[in-house]
Amino acid sequence: MSIAQAKRFTLDEYHRLGELGFFHEDDHIELINGEIIEMASKGTAHETCLRNLLRELPKIVGDRATLQSQAPIALPPNSEPEPDFAILQNRDDNYLYGHPQPADVLLVMEVSDSSLGYDQDVKIPLYAKAGITDYWIFNLFDNYLEAYSEPYQDNQGRYGYSNKRIFLSNEVITFPCFPDLSLDLAKVFPPKLNF
């Protein structure tokens, strides 16, 4: 008896599907562990937090690194997430000749409301396995920042981060890649809405 199995894609196959016009321009998809994942639509708090980060991060980071938003990071062999923000090492070609690889990534940031479980359960092991040293989740559900660092692999082959710190929405956090730079979270988190 044979069991049906989902087709998993490599990065090359995923890119080829894009070249062939398989995806629509307005599709918000990612390749995660070989699966093409359609991302959920964003709520107003999510969009407000993104706008706040878009206003604050360029002022803070300046020319010291490359800032990208909702753009691919290649995690060979079969993942290409598009995190809400990533701080990357500057490169002479400004990534014209290829998407950033794990060695280029200084910090990955996701803004999470309805995607919180996914960003914790799927993205944490994904980024840790790739060796991305720092991962931040702007947790809009609990209204705090989850800062993950120190990726590891346990004896069962599972990946994660050994260090998790919580920063409340009224605190200031320094950037792990630039300890002299900090972000005032009060300027990022939208006010908590009561429904």
Range of the domain at 165: 43-187
Q: Is residue 20 part of a domain?
A: no
- pLDDT at site 43: 72
Three-state DSSP at 46 gives helix
In sequence order, the 6+-apart residues with CB closer than 8 A to the CB of 160 are 124, 125, 128, 151, 152, 154
- Using alpha carbons only, what angle is made at residue 108 by residues 105 and 112, rounded to the nearest 5 degrees? 165
Number of domain units in the chain: 1
Q: Is residue 168 part of a domain?
A: yes
Q: Is residue 111 part of a domain?
A: yes
Q: Is residue 8 part of a domain?
A: no
- pLDDT at site 195: 39
* CB count in 10 Å sphere of residue 174: 12
- pLDDT at site 136: 98
Q: Is residue 7 part of a domain?
A: no
H or E, element range at 3: none
CA dihedral 54, 59, 64, 70 (to 10 degrees): 0
Nearest Cα to Cα of residue 34 among 1, 72, 88, 80? 80
Structure-block tokens of residue 123: 């993205």
CA 45 to chain centre: 17
The CATH number for 133's domain is 3.90.1570.10
Over the chain (195 residues), what is each successive 10-residue block's mean pLDDT? 66 69 67 69 84 96 95 90 96 94 97 90 95 97 96 95 97 96 96 59
Question: Which pTM does this prediction carry?
Answer: 0.84
- pLDDT at site 188: 96
Q: Is residue 19 part of a domain?
A: no
Q: Is residue 141 part of a domain?
A: yes
Q: Is residue 9 part of a domain?
A: no
